Amino acid sequence: MRILGIDPGSRITGYGIIVKEGNRLIHVDNGAIFTDAAGDFSLRLHRIYRGLADVIQRYRPEEIALENIFFAKNVQSALKLGQARGAAIVAGVNAGLPVFEYSALQVKQAVVGHGKAAKVQVQQMLKVLLNLPEAAQEDASDALAVAVCHAHSRGMNALRRVAG
């Protein structure tokens, strides 16, 4: 099973691709899509959509998992984050892929074993689980964590599927 994990953001959207073979998790790639924070917001959303569509075309995942919105500093931030999530969801749905979502608590629980883990703990555990030479960039690491969470949670994910 090839899984694309996405950490949506209006400035930086992280992505991580893993393969689950039996009980093994294999790292395929990770990275981030950067947008111009000073640029027109609609063009930033298009950049996120296009970047993820390219990743989907290149790596051909079978399922997509993304982090759910949990906290935003203000209403404007929450709206922008929601729109970035929408661009990510549309990229997956347009490719005919099922899209699932997980809370930050669920992701940390699946990767580290407890939901209050620090980002550094998550990055270090991903380094070990995926046999990475070094910790991934923060947004890419978050996306890999979402993919790992989905790999471990596939039996329960029918409850978390984003409605089409």
Weakest mean pLDDT among 4-13, 62-71, 129-138: 62-71
- Is residue 99 included in any domain, yes or no? yes
Compute the mean pLDDT over every residue in the chain, rounded to the nearest whole number.
Answer: 90
Rounded to two decimals, the pTM is 0.91
- The per-residue pLDDT for 160 is 45
- The per-residue pLDDT for 72 is 61
- The per-residue pLDDT for 71 is 62
Is the pLDDT confidence value at 68 over 90?
A: no
Q: What is the DSSP string of 100-130?
A: EEE-HHHHHHHHHSSTT--HHHHHHHHHHHT
- Alpha carbons 116 and 76: distance in angstroms, whole number: 26
Is the pLDDT confidence value at 164 over 50?
A: no
Is the pLDDT confidence value at 87 over 70?
A: yes
- The per-residue pLDDT for 41 is 94
Task: Look up the domain containing 132 and give its range.
Answer: 2-159
Q: Mean per-residue pLDDT for 45-50?
A: 97
Q: Whose CA is closest to 48, among 3, 80, 96?
A: 80
- Alpha carbons 104 and 33: distance in angstroms, whole number: 20
- Is residue 65 included in any domain, yes or no? yes
CATH number at residue 144: 3.30.420.10
Share of the chain above pLDDT 70, in %: 91
- Is residue 164 included in any domain, yes or no? no
| Residue for token pair 């075309």 | 57
Structurally, how many domains does the chain consist of? 1
Q: Mean per-residue pLDDT for 98-106?
A: 94
- Is residue 51 included in any domain, yes or no? yes
- The per-residue pLDDT for 156 is 60
Q: Which residues are catalytic?
A: 7, 67, 139
- The per-residue pLDDT for 158 is 47
